[in-house]
Amino acid sequence: MSEAVVERVAAATPGPPRLEWQVATVVSVQQETPRARTLVLDVPQWPGHRAGQHVDVRLVAEDGYQAQRSYSIASAPAERTVALTVERLDDGEVSPYLCGVLQPADGVEVRGPIGGYFVWEVAQGGPLLLVAGGSGIVPLMAMLRHHARADVSARAAVPVRLLYSARTLDDVIYRAELEKLADPPQVEVVLTLTRDAPPAWSGYRRRVDRAMLEAVSWPSSAAPHVYVCGPTSLVESVATLLVDLGHEASRVRTERFGPTA
Protein backbone atom coordinates (compact mmCIF):
# COMPACT_ATOMS: atom_id res chain seq x y z
CA MET A 1 0.00 0.00 0.00
CA SER A 2 1.42 3.39 -0.98
CA GLU A 3 1.99 6.18 1.54
CA ALA A 4 -0.78 8.23 -0.10
CA VAL A 5 -3.27 5.39 0.40
CA VAL A 6 -2.13 4.94 4.00
CA GLU A 7 -2.69 8.65 4.62
CA ARG A 8 -6.19 8.53 3.13
CA VAL A 9 -7.11 5.47 5.22
CA ALA A 10 -5.80 7.14 8.37
CA ALA A 11 -7.76 10.29 7.62
CA ALA A 12 -10.94 8.30 7.09
CA THR A 13 -10.59 6.36 10.35
CA PRO A 14 -12.66 8.10 13.01
CA GLY A 15 -10.88 8.91 16.26
CA PRO A 16 -12.44 9.10 19.70
CA PRO A 17 -15.22 11.69 19.96
CA ARG A 18 -14.08 15.08 21.15
CA LEU A 19 -15.26 15.91 24.63
CA GLU A 20 -17.25 19.13 24.77
CA TRP A 21 -17.96 21.34 27.75
CA GLN A 22 -21.58 21.36 28.81
CA VAL A 23 -23.56 22.83 31.68
CA ALA A 24 -24.68 20.31 34.27
CA THR A 25 -27.44 21.07 36.75
CA VAL A 26 -27.00 20.33 40.44
CA VAL A 27 -29.78 17.95 41.50
CA SER A 28 -28.81 17.62 45.15
CA VAL A 29 -25.94 18.09 47.59
CA GLN A 30 -24.89 15.82 50.45
CA GLN A 31 -22.45 16.71 53.22
CA GLU A 32 -20.25 13.63 53.66
CA THR A 33 -17.79 14.95 56.26
CA PRO A 34 -17.01 18.41 57.67
CA ARG A 35 -14.77 18.98 54.62
CA ALA A 36 -16.24 16.79 51.89
CA ARG A 37 -19.44 17.24 49.92
CA THR A 38 -21.15 15.21 47.19
CA LEU A 39 -22.75 17.01 44.24
CA VAL A 40 -25.26 14.99 42.24
CA LEU A 41 -25.40 16.36 38.70
CA ASP A 42 -27.79 16.01 35.80
CA VAL A 43 -25.52 16.13 32.76
CA PRO A 44 -27.25 16.56 29.39
CA GLN A 45 -26.42 13.91 26.82
CA TRP A 46 -24.31 11.99 29.34
CA PRO A 47 -22.84 9.00 27.44
CA GLY A 48 -22.30 6.89 30.56
CA HIS A 49 -19.02 6.13 32.29
CA ARG A 50 -16.87 3.36 33.70
CA ALA A 51 -16.08 3.01 37.39
CA GLY A 52 -12.84 4.90 38.03
CA GLN A 53 -13.23 7.63 35.41
CA HIS A 54 -13.32 11.36 36.14
CA VAL A 55 -14.61 14.65 34.74
CA ASP A 56 -13.14 18.12 34.37
CA VAL A 57 -14.97 20.96 36.10
CA ARG A 58 -14.49 24.56 34.92
CA LEU A 59 -15.38 27.80 36.67
CA VAL A 60 -15.38 31.10 34.79
CA ALA A 61 -15.26 34.44 36.62
CA GLU A 62 -16.99 37.59 35.39
CA ASP A 63 -13.64 38.98 34.22
CA GLY A 64 -13.05 35.88 32.10
CA TYR A 65 -10.57 34.18 34.43
CA GLN A 66 -10.95 30.39 34.31
CA ALA A 67 -10.06 27.67 36.83
CA GLN A 68 -10.29 24.00 35.95
CA ARG A 69 -9.89 20.86 38.08
CA SER A 70 -10.49 17.14 37.64
CA TYR A 71 -12.77 15.18 39.98
CA SER A 72 -13.43 11.46 40.08
CA ILE A 73 -16.94 10.16 39.53
CA ALA A 74 -18.39 8.48 42.61
CA SER A 75 -21.61 7.13 41.11
CA ALA A 76 -21.98 3.65 39.67
CA PRO A 77 -22.02 3.42 35.85
CA ALA A 78 -25.65 2.29 35.91
CA GLU A 79 -26.85 5.55 37.48
CA ARG A 80 -28.32 8.27 35.29
CA THR A 81 -26.89 11.12 37.34
CA VAL A 82 -23.23 11.88 37.97
CA ALA A 83 -22.01 12.16 41.56
CA LEU A 84 -18.83 14.08 42.38
CA THR A 85 -17.46 14.10 45.91
CA VAL A 86 -15.20 17.08 46.52
CA GLU A 87 -12.98 17.71 49.53
CA ARG A 88 -12.50 21.39 50.33
CA LEU A 89 -8.98 22.81 50.13
CA ASP A 90 -8.82 26.09 52.02
CA ASP A 91 -6.44 27.64 49.50
CA GLY A 92 -8.09 26.04 46.47
CA GLU A 93 -9.63 27.96 43.59
CA VAL A 94 -12.43 25.49 42.78
CA SER A 95 -13.19 23.25 45.75
CA PRO A 96 -14.35 26.05 48.14
CA TYR A 97 -16.97 27.07 45.56
CA LEU A 98 -18.13 23.50 44.95
CA CYS A 99 -18.21 22.69 48.66
CA GLY A 100 -19.69 25.90 50.01
CA VAL A 101 -21.47 27.93 47.34
CA LEU A 102 -23.01 25.67 44.70
CA GLN A 103 -26.61 24.71 45.48
CA PRO A 104 -29.39 22.61 43.88
CA ALA A 105 -30.61 24.05 40.55
CA ASP A 106 -27.27 25.83 39.99
CA GLY A 107 -25.28 25.07 36.87
CA VAL A 108 -21.63 24.12 36.52
CA GLU A 109 -19.52 23.37 33.44
CA VAL A 110 -18.24 19.79 33.11
CA ARG A 111 -16.46 17.71 30.49
CA GLY A 112 -16.18 13.94 30.44
CA PRO A 113 -16.04 11.13 31.18
CA ILE A 114 -12.25 10.94 30.99
CA GLY A 115 -9.77 8.13 31.58
CA GLY A 116 -9.34 4.51 30.57
CA TYR A 117 -6.48 3.22 32.72
CA PHE A 118 -7.77 3.46 36.29
CA VAL A 119 -11.09 1.70 35.60
CA TRP A 120 -12.66 -1.57 36.69
CA GLU A 121 -15.68 -3.57 35.55
CA VAL A 122 -17.25 -6.65 37.10
CA ALA A 123 -16.50 -8.56 33.90
CA GLN A 124 -12.77 -8.26 34.68
CA GLY A 125 -13.30 -10.57 37.64
CA GLY A 126 -11.43 -10.58 40.91
CA PRO A 127 -10.37 -10.72 43.62
CA LEU A 128 -10.49 -6.93 43.88
CA LEU A 129 -8.25 -5.10 46.35
CA LEU A 130 -8.90 -1.39 46.87
CA VAL A 131 -6.60 0.85 48.93
CA ALA A 132 -7.63 4.45 49.58
CA GLY A 133 -6.27 7.42 51.44
CA GLY A 134 -8.52 10.37 52.27
CA SER A 135 -10.58 11.53 49.29
CA GLY A 136 -8.89 8.84 47.20
CA ILE A 137 -11.89 6.73 48.20
CA VAL A 138 -14.04 8.48 45.56
CA PRO A 139 -13.21 6.48 42.38
CA LEU A 140 -12.98 3.30 44.46
CA MET A 141 -16.50 3.98 45.74
CA ALA A 142 -17.70 3.96 42.14
CA MET A 143 -16.17 0.47 41.85
CA LEU A 144 -17.83 -0.68 45.07
CA ARG A 145 -21.20 0.66 43.94
CA HIS A 146 -20.74 -0.97 40.53
CA HIS A 147 -19.99 -4.26 42.27
CA ALA A 148 -23.05 -3.90 44.54
CA ARG A 149 -25.34 -3.39 41.54
CA ALA A 150 -24.09 -6.44 39.63
CA ASP A 151 -26.20 -9.59 39.55
CA VAL A 152 -25.78 -12.12 42.36
CA SER A 153 -23.62 -14.56 40.42
CA ALA A 154 -21.26 -11.80 39.23
CA ARG A 155 -20.86 -10.43 42.76
CA ALA A 156 -20.23 -13.90 44.15
CA ALA A 157 -17.39 -14.41 41.67
CA VAL A 158 -15.62 -11.20 42.74
CA PRO A 159 -14.67 -10.87 46.43
CA VAL A 160 -13.67 -7.33 47.39
CA ARG A 161 -11.49 -5.90 50.14
CA LEU A 162 -11.16 -2.19 50.85
CA LEU A 163 -8.41 -0.76 53.05
CA TYR A 164 -9.20 2.89 53.77
CA SER A 165 -6.85 5.25 55.61
CA ALA A 166 -8.34 8.43 57.12
CA ARG A 167 -7.19 10.89 59.74
CA THR A 168 -10.15 10.40 62.07
CA LEU A 169 -13.44 8.53 62.04
CA ASP A 170 -15.23 11.79 61.20
CA ASP A 171 -13.06 12.09 58.09
CA VAL A 172 -14.24 8.76 56.66
CA ILE A 173 -16.17 9.67 53.52
CA TYR A 174 -19.27 7.51 52.83
CA ARG A 175 -18.94 6.01 56.30
CA ALA A 176 -22.58 4.94 56.67
CA GLU A 177 -22.77 3.49 53.16
CA LEU A 178 -19.50 1.60 53.61
CA GLU A 179 -20.93 0.00 56.74
CA LYS A 180 -23.94 -1.16 54.73
CA LEU A 181 -21.85 -2.44 51.81
CA ALA A 182 -19.57 -4.47 54.09
CA ASP A 183 -20.65 -8.10 53.91
CA PRO A 184 -17.75 -10.34 54.97
CA PRO A 185 -16.25 -12.39 53.51
CA GLN A 186 -17.67 -11.21 50.17
CA VAL A 187 -17.05 -7.51 50.79
CA GLU A 188 -14.65 -6.52 53.57
CA VAL A 189 -14.03 -2.94 54.67
CA VAL A 190 -11.01 -2.21 56.87
CA LEU A 191 -10.37 1.26 58.27
CA THR A 192 -7.16 2.64 59.70
CA LEU A 193 -7.08 5.99 61.51
CA THR A 194 -3.83 7.94 61.46
CA ARG A 195 -4.58 10.65 64.04
CA ASP A 196 -7.41 10.48 66.57
CA ALA A 197 -9.50 7.39 67.26
CA PRO A 198 -12.56 6.91 69.50
CA PRO A 199 -11.82 5.38 72.93
CA ALA A 200 -13.51 2.10 71.98
CA TRP A 201 -11.83 1.88 68.57
CA SER A 202 -10.46 -1.63 67.94
CA GLY A 203 -9.19 -1.13 64.40
CA TYR A 204 -5.84 -0.01 63.07
CA ARG A 205 -4.35 3.26 64.37
CA ARG A 206 -1.47 3.93 62.01
CA ARG A 207 -0.49 4.60 58.42
CA VAL A 208 -0.70 1.76 55.94
CA ASP A 209 2.42 -0.41 56.25
CA ARG A 210 3.70 -3.78 55.09
CA ALA A 211 2.21 -5.74 57.99
CA MET A 212 -1.20 -4.17 57.41
CA LEU A 213 -1.14 -4.97 53.69
CA GLU A 214 -0.09 -8.55 54.41
CA ALA A 215 -3.01 -8.91 56.81
CA VAL A 216 -5.64 -7.33 54.55
CA SER A 217 -4.66 -8.26 51.00
CA TRP A 218 -4.77 -11.60 49.26
CA PRO A 219 -1.45 -13.33 48.59
CA SER A 220 0.13 -12.51 45.26
CA SER A 221 -0.69 -16.05 44.08
CA ALA A 222 -4.38 -15.07 44.05
CA ALA A 223 -3.50 -12.41 41.43
CA PRO A 224 -5.96 -9.75 42.64
CA HIS A 225 -6.76 -6.64 40.66
CA VAL A 226 -5.40 -3.79 42.79
CA TYR A 227 -6.40 -0.12 42.70
CA VAL A 228 -4.68 2.42 44.94
CA CYS A 229 -5.78 6.06 45.17
CA GLY A 230 -4.87 8.87 47.52
CA PRO A 231 -2.05 11.29 48.31
CA THR A 232 1.19 10.70 46.42
CA SER A 233 3.10 9.53 49.52
CA LEU A 234 0.50 6.84 50.31
CA VAL A 235 0.16 5.71 46.71
CA GLU A 236 3.88 5.33 46.14
CA SER A 237 4.42 3.57 49.47
CA VAL A 238 1.55 1.11 49.00
CA ALA A 239 2.44 0.32 45.39
CA THR A 240 6.07 -0.36 46.34
CA LEU A 241 5.09 -2.55 49.29
CA LEU A 242 2.66 -4.59 47.19
CA VAL A 243 5.30 -5.25 44.55
CA ASP A 244 7.74 -6.21 47.31
CA LEU A 245 5.11 -8.68 48.52
CA GLY A 246 5.14 -10.34 45.12
CA HIS A 247 2.22 -8.68 43.33
CA GLU A 248 2.78 -8.02 39.64
CA ALA A 249 3.33 -4.32 39.03
CA SER A 250 1.06 -4.50 35.98
CA ARG A 251 -1.87 -5.49 38.22
CA VAL A 252 -1.37 -2.58 40.64
CA ARG A 253 -3.03 0.51 39.20
CA THR A 254 -2.57 3.85 40.89
CA GLU A 255 -4.05 7.33 40.86
CA ARG A 256 -2.79 10.25 42.90
CA PHE A 257 -4.88 12.95 44.52
CA GLY A 258 -3.63 16.29 45.71
CA PRO A 259 -3.65 20.07 45.31
CA THR A 260 -2.72 21.53 41.96
CA ALA A 261 0.65 23.25 41.96
- How does pLDDT run across 58-85, given as a tens digit for each residue? 999 888 889 999 999 999 999 999 999 9
pLDDT of residue 1: 42
Q: Residue 19: helix, strand or coil by DSSP?
A: coil
C-alpha–C-alpha distance, residues 217 and 163, integer Å: 9
C-alpha–C-alpha distance, residues 82 and 196, integer Å: 33
All domains in the chain, ordered by first residue: 22-114 (2.40.30.10), 122-257 (3.40.50.80)
- How does pLDDT run across 214-248, given as a tens digit for each residue? 999 999 999 999 999 999 999 999 999 999 999 99
CB atoms within 10 A of CB 44: 8
CB within 8 A of 206, min separation 6: which ones?
A: 192, 194, 212
- Coarse DSSP helix, strand, coil percentages of the chain, rounded to the nearest 5 percent: 30, 30, 40
Confidence class for position 17, pLDDT limits 50, 70, 90: low
Q: Are 222 and 196 in contact (CB under 8 A)?
A: no
- How does pLDDT run across 125-172, given as a tens digit for each residue? 989 999 999 999 999 999 999 999 999 988 889 999 999 999 999 999
User: Closest by alpha carbon to 251, among 233, 229, 226, 222?
Assistant: 226
Confidence class for position 9, pLDDT limits 50, 70, 90: very low
